[in-house]
Amino acid sequence: MIKIWIANIMDLIFGDPYNMPHPVRVIGSYISWFEKIIRKICRSDSALKIAGIILTISTVAIGYGTIYFILKFSMRIGLWLNFMLSVIFMYYCIAGKCLQKEAYKIMSVLFQDNLPEARKLLSYIVGRDTGRLDEEGIARGLIETVSENTSDGIIAPLFYMFIGGPPLAMAYKAINTLDSMVGYKNDKYKDFGWASAKLDDIANYIPARLTAIFMVASAFILGKDYKNSFRIVLRDGRKHLSPNSGYPEAAVAGALGIMLGGANYYFGKLVVKPTIGDKSKVIEAKDIKHTVKIMYVSWLMALILFSIAAYLLKGI
- Residue 122, pLDDT score: 94
Angle 156-182/45-77 helices, nearest 10 degrees? Answer: 140
CA distances from 269 to 119, 130, 264 (A): 18, 12, 8
The proportion of the chain whose per-residue pLDDT surpasses 90, expressed as a percent, equals 82
Amino acid at the residue 101: K
Degrees to nearest 5, angle at CA 214 with 23 and 163 = 45
Give the separation between CA 9 and CA 3, rounded to whole angstroms: 10
What is the per-residue pLDDT across 41-95, written as a single tens digit (0 to 9) for each?
888 889 999 999 999 999 999 999 999 999 999 999 999 999 999 999 999 999 9
Average pLDDT over every residue of 203-208: 97
Phi then psi dihedrals of residue 258, to 5 deg: -125, 170
Could you tell me the pLDDT band of residue 315, with boundaries at 50, 70 and 90? low
pLDDT of 4 strictly over 70: yes
Give the separation between CA 152 and CA 173, rounded to whole angstroms: 9
Contact 174, 63 (CB under 8 A): yes
What is the per-residue pLDDT across 154-189, written as a single tens digit (0 to 9) for each?
999 999 999 999 999 999 999 999 999 998 888 888
> What b/e string do you get for 157-191 counting C-beta neighbours within 10 Å, with b at 16 or more?
bbbbbbeebbbbbbbbbbbbbbbbbbbbeeeebeb
pLDDT of 21 strictly over 80: no
> What b/e string do you get for 253-276 counting C-beta neighbours within 10 Å, with b at 16 or more?
bbbbbbbbbeebeeeeeeeebeeb
Greatest alpha-carbon pair distance for the chain in Å reads: 60
Mean pLDDT of the chain: 93
The proportion of the chain whose per-residue pLDDT surpasses 70, expressed as a percent, equals 98
Contact 306, 90 (CB under 8 A): no
SS3 94: coil
Closest by CA position to 143, among listed 192, 180, 108, 103: 103
- Residue 212, pLDDT score: 98
Could you tell me the pLDDT band of residue 316, with boundaries at 50, 70 and 90? low
Could you tell me the pLDDT band of residue 271, with boundaries at 50, 70 and 90? confident
Contact 291, 143 (CB under 8 A): yes
Which DSSP string do the residues of 184-249 spell out, in sequence order? --STTTTTTTHHHHHHHHHHHHHHHHHHHHHHHHHHHHTTS-HHHHHHHHHHHTT-SSSTTTHHHH
Which DSSP string do the residues of 3-49 spell out, in sequence order? HHHHHHHHHHHH-S-TTS--HHHHHHHHHHHHHHHHHHH--SHHHHH
Closest by CA position to 67, among listed 175, 168, 177: 168
Degrees to nearest 5, angle at CA 39 with 36 and 41 = 115
